[in-house]
Amino acid sequence: MSTTLLLLVVLGLALAAWLAARARAWSFQREVGARGLRSLPNYHAWYVALWVALPALIFLVVWSVASPPLVLQSVLASEAASALPEFGFKRESMLAEARAVATGAAPAVFNPEAQGLVEPFRDALGTFNLIGLAVTIVVAFVGGAWAFLRLRPDFTARTRVERAVMTLLLIASLVAILTTLGIFASLVFETARFFGMVSPIDFLFGTHWGPDPMANAANPDGDTYGAIPLFWGTIFIGAIIAMIVAIPLGLMSAIYLTQYANPRIRAWVKPMLEILAGVPTVVYGYFAALTVAPAIRDLALAAGMSNPSSESALAAGIVMGVMIIPFVSSMADDSITAVPQAMRDGSLAMGATTSETIRRVLIPAALPGIVAGIMLAISRAIGETMIVVMAASTAANLSANPLEAMTTVTVQIVAMLTGEGSFNHPATLSAFALGFVLFLVTLGLNFIALRVVKRFREAYD
């Protein structure tokens, strides 16, 4: 709440500064005439407003991260804190409770022992809020005053504001790099911790997966961390079953839409196919679990299988394939249309039928693009989470039978991180190692696919 308040204070001060600076610039204009002013009055206004807002906002960000630990420290320094248990869950929950009461988020403490902490918390919060407010206002005033005093008729406010804008744009574009680095760093860091407990060789080449989040964390059993069954399940569901569904359907849809359908039908059908990609994956997951999986189970029973799994790899794979159809189809569509018309005309002129032209000329010519599209589709499929979480099993199984239960990397990431295990347990950390593998594989697939597409485009340009 206090952060919102501080934000409003800063914005209010910035607005006041904006108006004041513009009035000042106007007064210059009256003195020296419009020609004498180097920049328009609005730029003077923005210059001062930026000097008020930016330093204060930077302080706010730092403060909102730094102040909770400071508050906590001052609470722990109080007398009441000496009654706290040394470590563990109870200590955390008492502190959280007292904080909630002190901030007004909760009406009263549940645990009477935490009552003593409420007052210190309230005091500390009050003090630190006051300090935060005071420093914010001082920072804003100092920045604003410094900028305001620099205003002169020949002050180049515009260039300075524009330089600030450019810096802002540059920073915004750096967010992407920061995010990539953040993903990489967090995955590498947690994976390194995991490999400190379980050997990478056990993890990458072991064939038995069954981490026990409740087992002793100190010396984990490396034999239960073999991820091969997960990799196989992921490949089997995402790259084999789903692709067996998606490639023929997506490719044939694209061929029909680009080569046979008349433009009016194409204009309607293409967006409708895209809807398939727009349906949230949780809906597909529900569909797979509720409708497809029982149907496959019934079919298997009717075919004479004894005790087929209701969480078969087939159900998840088929539904995932349906989800991927528009993906394959639009990539294939693009690369078929990119084949020069002359090649198609040449083939037709030699007397080939349309289908012969497609099969013998267009597809071979478009093949690199189609393959790249399929690679992107695979990377999409193996990273897909909700369908497999809802329809596939959590039991790791190394088998080539599509009717058997199988699990995937993403299912295990979800299972390991939403369980009860502590954050320092190798079972929990294994999720990050799995995530890291997933990240690298999808990155690799995308990288190769994009290069193929690029080279393919150059070939026909």
Token pair in block for residue 350: 């030699």
CA distances from 359 to 152, 224, 261, 313, 422 (A): 74, 49, 17, 32, 56
Residue number, 127 or 355, with CB nearest to other proteins: 355
Q: Is 158 in the site for other proteins (CB under 8 A)?
A: yes
Window 196 to 235, contacts with other proteins (CB under 8 A)? none
**Residue 163 beta carbon to other proteins: minimum distance, rounded to whole angstroms:** 9
Q: How far is the CB of 108 from other proteins (least distance, A)?
A: 14
- Select from 182, 196, 210, 294 the one that contacts other proteins (CB under 8 A): 182
The only residue of 253, 330, 347, 393 in contact with other proteins, by rule CB under 8 A:
253
Closest to 72 in 3D by CA, of 131, 112, 114, 125: 125
In order, the DSSP letters of 302-328 are: HTT-SS--TTBHHHHHHHHHHHHHHHH
Q: Which of the stretches 24-32, 48-56, 285-293, 308-316 binds other proteins when contact is defined by CB under 8 A?
A: 285-293
For other proteins, the binding residues in 48-77 under the rule CB under 8 A are: 65, 68
Contact 328, 246 (CB under 8 A): yes
> CA neighbours within 13 Å on the CB side: how many for 398?
11
CA separation for the pair 240, 272 (Å, rounded): 25
State yes or no: residue 170 binds other proteins (CB under 8 A): yes
Segment near other proteins (CB under 8 A); pick from 24-32, 78-86, 305-313, 352-360? 352-360
Tokens 């680009």 belong to which residue? Answer: 258
Residue 69 CB, nearest approach to other proteins (Å): 10
14-47 burial code (b ≥16 CB/10 A, e <16): beebbebbbebbeebbeeeeeeebebebebbbbb
* Residues binding other proteins: number (CB under 8 A): 91
User: Is residue 283 involved in binding other proteins (CB under 8 A)?
Assistant: yes
CB 118 to other proteins: min, Å: 16
Q: Which of 148, 155, 203, 287 binds other proteins (CB under 8 A)?
A: 287
Per CB under 8 A, does 166 bind other proteins?
yes
What is the footprint of other proteins within residues 380-399 (CB under 8 A)?
Answer: 380, 382-386, 389-390
Q: Which of 88, 89, 173, 461 is the binder for other proteins (CB under 8 A)?
A: 173
Distance CA(168)–CA(162), nearest Å, equals: 10
